[in-house]
Structure 1
Amino acid sequence: MLELVRDFVNTYDVETDADELTSPAELALWLRERGLAAEGDRAGDDDLTTAIALREALRAGLRRAAPVDLPGVALRVTIDGTPRLTPMSAGVPGGLAAIAAAVLDPGWERLKVCSEGTCQWAFIDASKNRSRSWCSMKVCGNRTKTRAYRARKHGSRRLQGSNTDTV
């Protein structure tokens, strides 16, 4: 289920401003492709609004910037051994509820959002100590470290230029 949440959050690419969920039909198709909605299930404008709100609430929660508010999804607590959240309806609303219910899945703390501000891509942190910060060290990690290096260099040049001795 972590992969499902990751993929759902990544339906919007912050860096390129590209959104896979541009219409109710695209939402229904996305859910059908993942087995969360049946062939005849249709989405409406309200479903799309709920999906986008849920996606961004999950992104904020993964940044650990806010508690995860599950907007517009109907879930019930099922207790048959281990308590879990289950969708209260089928179709598109049930598919969205299934995504929201994944917040209680084991390993949720391994799901993160890239700390590079221009990226915000969701990823699963498989590192042993769960300390990964970027979706990709080669791209986002490198950007962040290069920016920090340049800022340090720029700051040291400014200090060197103002350090003149007068006699």
Structure 2
Amino acid sequence: MDDARVTGQDGDVEFAMVSGNLALDLAGTLRWRRTAREEQLVDPDALASWLVASGAAPAPVPVDAATLARGLALREAIYRLACDHLEGRAFDPDGLATVNAAAAGPATTIALTADGLVRRGDVDAALGDVARSLITVLTDPSAPPLKECGREACTRLYLDRSRGARRTWCGMEECGNRVKAAAYRARRRSAGGAPN
């Protein structure tokens, strides 16, 4: 699992980058959607940190309250559209409008310098790149299968790039280990042994 730990105003904020796609990783910043709902983008600084940690922004970019609101609206539109795709439903019109508006914005630019690759862009370019990454995934017939984590409480979406597309959880460290440990304990109980 690829985690990015960023020090924020309230201490370390850990973002899990396990989805295999920039947009799906953004959607994962609202965790446990069906149960405890844990918001990771609690303020503009958290969104700025996520943009850098995810690679969407090449360097810290200024984020204000209005930009945070746009980022959260984009995140929710991404989640709705990805779920629509996963369930074979027609795309939500409001979600389409939000993602398409962001995607129509500027793009992060790249340049080759004597020191290597340099990426440049503001927060709008970073959010535009996030939106375009979703569009690419949802329209590319050769894209890996889109799945939702198999752990009951987890609502994270990911691209299954595993051999045979048999991955069943978003990431090993958080969900995979817990699923495996629960399965081990269940096997021990059914075999008559005491769980560890």
Q: TM-score range by the shorter chain?
A: 0.5 to 0.7
Displacement of 1:21 after TM fit? Answer: 0.9
**Mind listing any 5+ residue stretches in structure 2 that lack a counterpart?**
1-18, 108-121, 187-196
CA pair 53-137 structure 1, distance change in 2 beyond 3 A:
closer
21 and 62 in structure 1: CA distance in 2 versus 1, 3 angstrom threshold: farther
User: Matched residues in 2 for 1:30 and 1:133: separation?
Assistant: 25
Tell me which structure has the larger Cα radius of gyration: 1
The answer as to 2:96 corresponding to 1:70 is yes
Match of 2:189 in 1: none
Counterparts of 1:138 and 1:28 in 2: how far apart (Å)?
A: 30
Query: How many residues matched?
Result: 139
Aligned with residue 3 of structure 1, among 7, 18, 21:
21
Q: Which residue pairs with 1:13 in the alignment? A: 31
TM-score (normalizing by structure 2): 0.51
Q: CA deviation at 1:66?
A: 4.1
Residue 80 (structure 2) aligns with? 57
Q: In the alignment, what sits opposite 1:23?
A: 43
Q: 1:5 to 1:35 in 2, by over 3 A?
A: same
Q: Give the C-alpha shift of residue 13 in structure 1.
A: 1.7
1:123 aligned counterpart, secondary structure: strand
The code of the aligned residue for 2:23 comes to: V
The letter of the residue matching 2:62 is: D
- Which runs of 5 or more residues in structure 1 are unaligned? 77-85, 148-167
Q: What SS does the corresponding residue of 1:41 show, helix, strand or coil?
A: coil
4+ residue runs over 6 A deviation: none
- Separation in structure 1 between the aligned mates of residue 82 and residue 179 of structure 2, nearest angstrom: 17
Q: Tell me, what secondary structure is at the counterpart of 1:56?
A: helix
Please state whether the residue corresponding to 2:96 is helix, strand or coil. coil
Corresponding residue for 1:121?
A: 156
| Amino acid corresponding to residue 76 of structure 2 in structure 1 | A
Name the aligned partner's letter for residue 146 of structure 2: L
Point out the more displaced range, 120-129 or 20-29.
Answer: 120-129
Partner SS state of residue 70, structure 1: helix
Q: TM-score, normalised by structure 1?
A: 0.57
Q: Taking every aligned residue pair, what percent have the same amino acid on both sides?
A: 20
Q: Which residue of 2 aligns with 1:98?
A: 129
**Offset, 1:65:** 6.0
Rounded to whole Å, the distance in 1 between the matches of 2:44 and 2:75 is 11
Mapped contact 2:30–2:37 kept (Cα < 8 A): yes
Provide closer, same or farther for how the CA distance between residues 34 and 114 of structure 1 changes in structure 2, counting only shifts above 3 A. closer
